[in-house]
Amino acid sequence: MKKVLVLYYSQSGQLKDVLASITAPLEESAAIKCDWRALEPLEPYPYPWPFYTFLNIFPEAVDLDGCPLQELEPAADYDLIILGYTVWFLSPSIPVAGFLQSPQARNLFSGKPVITVIACRDMWLLAQEKVKALLKDLGARLLDNVVLTDQGKSISTFVTTPRWLLTGNKEAFWGFPRAGIAAEEVAAASRFGRRLEGALKDDLEKGDGSLLAGLGAVNVEGKLIASERIAHRSFKIWSKLIKKAGPSGSPARKPVITIYCIFLLMMIVTVVPLNILIRRCLYPFRKRTIDQAVAAYELPSGR
Ligand SMILES: Cc1cc2nc3c(=O)[nH]c(=O)nc-3n(C[C@H](O)[C@H](O)[C@H](O)COP(=O)(O)O)c2cc1C
């Protein structure tokens, strides 16, 4: 009997649905047992998010500060760990970042094969680089990464995802698509579970190769790489400024957060379109470098 741990933190349940779809074929197998564990912060984060609470956690998310969590049930010895996480400000969500730096994670992950599953808007590259480093530090072996992103173009989800997170409303409106990951994509994620079931039967998780190659587990959008890197640099500077204003939740943070929002809006209407235009012009000359970066970010699963 193979034992699989499904470890995750999901607020609306979207990531949990993705994990349920992936693991459905494993749950049906008599030769595999899945243990589900949800990470639970001692002080739960709200959903939907009040505006200032949403931005108040920004510096802690960027700096991977983590938060106190309920102790998980004592860990068994798992054959495979599926780690589901969402992205908060280009970083793994605070509960996941916290757990991956805990002593319990070291016991659980050391030497174990891991598959990361991300369900987010569409900016996950740097979050996954941070998770890769944390997993390496724990001595875990990352075999695959599966990523599902919100439906619609980047420009649409820039509206639909925050609207959903701040109001709880996912419905389509004014020509924008419904927020979140398309239901068909969630359902189609069961293909990963079917492959995993066979791989576990054949003991392939004991090796170091990808189990999910060729199934479209990740699809890196080359044009978003530069945006993520630029945004992350600015996030680092602003998180320092916001932290300097006061501790998490303190009213002293509000004016800095407000200035940050105005700055962000100004950037979005001025620098961002200009940047897109310049990069479009430079694309033919930078294609090789961008293609190399895409291939690197798509590891270990590839397309
Ligand atoms: C505080 C916060 C920050 C977020 N930042 C990002 C981000 O940087 N990139 C991204 O693709 N999605 C981002 N998202 C969207 C989440 O990754 C995720 O899609 C959403 O929270 C729903 O996940 P759930 O399963 O927990 O409900 C953010 C969400 C929250 C709550």
Determine if ligand 1 sits within 6 Å of the CB of residue 186.
Answer: no
Distance 182 CA to ligand 1 centre (A): 15
List the residue whose alpha carbon is closest to atom 3 of ligand 1.
88
Give the distance (Å) from ligand 1 centre to CA of residue 174.
22
For the stretch 254-262, contacts whose Cβ atoms lie closer than 8 Å and that sit 24 or more positions apart, written own/partner, are 254/52, 257/52, 257/55, 257/56, 257/58, 260/55, 261/55
> With a 6 A CB cut-off, is 235 part of the ligand 1 pocket?
no
Q: For residue 226, what pLDDT is reported?
A: 86
203 shares a domain with 97: yes
Q: What is the pLDDT of residue 76?
A: 74
**Does the residue 144 lie in any domain?**
yes
Last residue of a domain, one of 219, 242, 261: 219
- Write phi, then psi, for 299 (nearest 5 degrees): -70, 150
Instruction: State the closest ligand 1 atom to the C-alpha of 86, by its place in the atom list counted from 1.
Output: 17
Bigger pLDDT: 10 vs 230 = 10
Q: Report the pLDDT value the prediction gives residue 286, as an integer from 0 to 100.
A: 86
Backbone angles phi, psi at 289, to 5 degrees: -65, -45
CA 225 to chain centre: 15
Please tell me the distance from the alpha carbon of residue 277 to that of residue 296, in angstroms, as a whole number. Answer: 25
Q: What pLDDT, on the 0 to 100 scale, is given for residue 70? A: 95
At 112 the three-state DSSP class reads coil
Q: Are residues 15 and 97 located together in one domain of the fold? A: yes
Phi, then psi, of 176 in degrees rounded to 5? -80, 145
Q: Which helix (H) or strand (E) holds 115?
A: strand 113-120
Domain contains 303: no
Phi/psi of residue 285, each to 5°?
A: -80, -25
Q: Do 106 and 250 fall into the same domain?
A: no
Q: Over the stretch 224-238, which tens digit does the pLDDT of each residue have?
A: 888 889 889 999 999
Per-residue pLDDT band at 161 (split at 50, 70, 90): very high
Amino acid identity for residue 266 in this structure = M
Is any ligand 1 atom within 6 A of the Cβ of residue 97?
no
Range of weakest confidence among 78-87, 202-211, 277-286: 277-286
Two tokens at 170?
């996912």
Pocket test for ligand 1, best of 10, 16, 96, 165 (most atoms within 8 A of CB): 165
CA of 201 to the centre of ligand 1 (A): 34
| Nearest protein Cα to ligand 1, atom 20 | 120
* 143 and 45 in a common domain: yes
Share of the chain above pLDDT 90, in %: 82
> How far apart are the C-alpha atoms of 124 and 96, rounded to whole Å?
14
Distance CA 141, CA 135 (A): 7
HSE-up (13 A, CA, CB side) for residue 131: 32
User: Which residue's alpha carbon is at the smallest distance from atom 9 of ligand 1?
Assistant: 123
Domain extent at residue 43: 2-219
3 state DSSP class of 34: strand
Q: Whose alpha carbon is nearest atom 18 of ligand 1?
A: 120
**Cβ distance 31 to 63 under 8 Å?**
no
User: Within this chain, do residues 165 and 239 fall inside the same structural domain, yes or no?
Assistant: no
Ligand 1 binding pocket includes 151 (Cβ within 6 Å): no
In the structure encoding, which two tokens stand for residue 202, read together? 């054949």
pLDDT bucket at 269, cuts 50 / 70 / 90 = confident
Could you tell me if 45 and 160 lie in one domain?
A: yes
For 42-85, the pLDDT digits (tens) are 999 999 999 999 999 999 999 999 999 998 876 678 999 999 99
The CATH number that applies at residue 63 is 3.40.50.360
Give the mean pLDDT of 23-51: 97
CA dist 282 and 16 (Å) reads: 40
Task: Determine how many CB atoms are found less than 10 A away from the CB of residue 261.
Answer: 13
The total of structural domains in the chain comes to 2
Compute CA 214 distance to the chain's CA centroid, rounded to the nearest angstrom: 21
Atom 16 of ligand 1, nearest CA residue: 120
Q: Of ligand 1's atoms, which has the minimum distance to the CA of residue 54?
A: 1
Domain boundary residue, one of 169, 204, 219 = 219
- What is the spatial distance between Cα 181 and Cα 187, in angstroms, rounded to a whole number? 10
132 has pLDDT over 80: yes
Q: Is 122 in the pocket of ligand 1 (CB under 6 A)?
A: yes
Does 10 contact ligand 1 (Cβ within 6 A)? Answer: yes
Average of per-residue pLDDT values in the chain: 94
Spatial distance between the Cα atoms of 124 and 146, rounded to a whole number of angstroms: 11
pLDDT given for residue 273 in this prediction: 81
Residues 6+ apart with CB under 8 A from 274: none
Assess whether the C-beta atom of 179 lies below 6 angstroms from ligand 1: no
Neighbours of 163 (CB within 10 A): 18
Q: Are residues 43 and 160 in the same domain?
A: yes
pLDDT surpasses 90 at 252: yes
Alpha-carbon distance 100 to 8, whole Å? 11
Tell me the C-alpha distance between 212 and 205, whole Å. Answer: 11
Residue 283 is predicted with a pLDDT of 84
Centre of ligand 1 to C-alpha 120, Å, is 5
For residue 189, pLDDT over 90 is answered with: yes
- What distance in angstroms lies between residue 88's CA and the mean position of ligand 1's atoms? 5
**CA atoms within 13 Å, Cβ hemisphere of 200:** 28
